[in-house]
Amino acid sequence: MPTDELTVLATGEIDLVGRVVDSSNATYVVHVTLDGEQLPAVYKPEAGERPLWDFDPGLYKRERAAYVLSEHLGWGLVPPTVVREDAPAGVGSVQRFVEGDHREHYFTLYDDRPELHDTFRRMAVFDCIANNTDRKSGHVLLGENGHVYGIDHGLCFAADFKLRTVIWDFAGEEISAADLATIEPLATSVPDTLAALLNRDEVAALQSRVQRLLTTQVLPVDRTGRRVPWPLI
């Protein structure tokens, strides 16, 4: 029986393959191998993070937190992601690489694949909860298995409202009753595995964002026209 991906990522041997040269922070493609099973992955070490005025060091924790949140909700929007203390350049996140056509991204998928729109609506809800500051179009990938994934969540979970995203096509629409029921428990209780990756203010702010969505029951509208990341893709 194949070893599950999280076990491979968490305990396998990490071999550097190359660096992603156009990334703002140090990002590496790696192979993670355990018991003969090998997974391609993306490794983001804390040592390679550029200092930011509005986020503390340790963006790799937010990468992991996004995966934990997605799995807690049962939405599967984030590829398996772990924290490795023993990685080649020091502590950082290791996330399974999404195999697929990387010429595709949110804008092309929105236009060409209307059957994915419900998934994009759910991703919009997820980004509101996670307070995603950097949902570029290129951060939405279609895997070889036809599954949609979001990547690059290092700039999430700030206590201050910082939502910036390209997914505004569903603004003002009602959130499905199923998704509201799924997020409702977060309004009063955040799982320990997620809270451990954030500070107290960030946990409280996450609960407040959930409470707001439960009150309005609609996806937010950007009335400023400025809540988009740059570059867009």
Residue 185 lies in a domain: yes
Residue 60 lies in a domain: yes
Q: Tokens for 157?
A: 């979970």
- Of 106, 133, 127, 152, nearest to 230 (Cα)? 133
Residue 224 lies in a domain: no
User: Which residue has 């009063």 as its token pair?
Assistant: 188
Determine if the pTM surpasses 0.85: yes
Q: Are strands 81-84 and 92-96 parallel, antiparallel or unpaired?
A: antiparallel
Structural domains counted in the chain: 1
Q: What distances in angstroms separate CA 183 from CA 66, 73, 129, 130, 196, one per listed residue? A: 14, 7, 9, 12, 19
Q: Is-contact 45 89, C-beta < 8 A?
A: yes
The CATH number covering residue 194 comes to 1.10.510
Tens-place pLDDT, residues 23-59: 889 999 999 999 999 999 999 999 999 999 999 999 9
In this model, does residue 63 exceed pLDDT 90? yes
In this model, does residue 2 exceed pLDDT 70? no
pLDDT in the model for residue 16:
97
Domain enclosing residue 74, as ranges: 5-216
What does the alpha-carbon distance between residue 85 and residue 35 come to, in Å, rounded to a whole number?
20
In this model, does residue 3 exceed pLDDT 90? no
Report the chain's terminal Cα–Cα distance, integer Å: 39
Residue 57 lies in a domain: yes
